Structures are given as structure tokens and as C-alpha cells.
């Protein structure tokens, strides 16, 4: 049972890391920097905020995928997503399919990240690949 729990934790961690990386990739290639910066400015943030948030999201995604500093990365991601929920999506209704994206998806993602920050890395954390003598759940 312990292995199943550890694998489930790692699956949650890895999938959310990949979601962050996909989100960043789409921002850079599909939405493009000028549009992303204009969007952040339309919310009243300085242009640099778009770069800072994108950098943070990329870093969070990488850390979650490799399983390093998972608690801090997930908690930081939860704060970013909670901010996105409250500042951007809350005014667009519940359904994420609404114009502008409702708050259901970012709110759920924020809660999932909060749970991940409490659970830790799970079974396949990166340092276990290098140091197989470490047994059981990883500590980050």
C-alpha cells in the first residue's frame, strides 16, 4: 500500500509539473510574449510581471517533474494559481470554458498544488535515481 501511495503522489507531482511546462510553452509559442505582456499590463501589472511569472512557472514545472524541492515549488505554484483565480478568473464565472476562463480550473489546480506541498515528492524523486540506497518516501 505504501508503494501505491508513493506512486500516486509522484504521478500527481509529475502531471502538474508537465502542466506548468505546457502552460509556459503555449505562452511562449502560441500566445507569444507581446500578447502575454499586454495581458499582464491590462490587469494593471508592470510588464516585468509577465516575465517573472513565466519564469516562476517554468521553474516550478521543472522542479515538480524532477522531484526536487517539491514542497516549496508546489506551495509557490499554489500561491500563483490562487492569485490567478482571484485576480483574473473569478470575474468570469465558474466554468473554465466561459469567455476569459472561469475559476474552476485554476482553483482546483491551486488546491491540488497545496495538497502536493503537504504530500512531498513521492516515489520517483530525482535523487533516488542517483542514490538508490534511499528507500521509502523521499524527503524534500
Residue 27: inside a domain: yes
Residue 135: inside a domain: no
Parts of the chain with a pLDDT under 50: 127, 129-131, 137-140
pTM of the full predicted structure?
0.84
Structural domain count, the chain: 1
Report the Cα 133 to chain-centroid distance in Å.
29
Domain encompassing residue 77: 2-130
pLDDT of residue 108: 96
Q: Quick one: DSSP state of residue 69?
A: S
Residue 92: inside a domain: yes
Residue 137: inside a domain: no
Number of H helices, E strands in the chain: 6, 0
pLDDT in tens, 58-99: 999 999 999 999 999 999 999 999 999 999 999 999 888 888
pLDDT of residue 128: 52
Phi, psi of 136 (to 5 degrees): 80, -165
Residue 139: inside a domain: no
Residue 123: inside a domain: yes
For the beta carbon of residue 118, count every other beta carbon within 10 angstroms. Answer: 10
Amino acid at each position: 500500500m505504501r508503494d501505491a501511495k508513493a506512486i500516486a503522489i509522484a504521478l500527481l507531482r509529475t502531471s502538474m509539473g508537465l502542466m506548468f511546462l505546457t502552460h509556459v510553452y503555449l505562452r511562449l509559442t502560441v500566445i507569444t510574449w507581446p500578447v502575454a505582456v499586454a495581458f499582464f499590463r491590462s490587469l494593471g501589472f508592470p510588464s516585468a510581471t509577465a516575465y517573472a511569472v513565466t519564469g516562476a512557472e517554468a521553474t516550478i514545472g521543472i522542479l515538480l517533474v524532477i522531484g526536487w524541492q517539491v514542497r516549496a515549488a508546489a506551495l509557490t505554484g499554489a500561491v500563483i494559481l490562487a492569485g490567478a483565480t482571484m485576480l483574473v478568473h473569478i470575474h468570469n464565472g465558474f466554468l473554465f470554458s466561459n469567455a476569459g476562463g472561469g475559476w474552476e480550473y485554476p482553483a482546483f489546480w491551486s488546491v491540488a498544488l497545496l495538497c502536493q506541498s503537504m504530500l512531498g515528492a513521492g516515489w520517483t524523486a530525482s535523487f533516488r535515481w542517483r542514490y538508490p540506497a534511499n528507500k521509502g518516501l523521499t524527503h524534500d
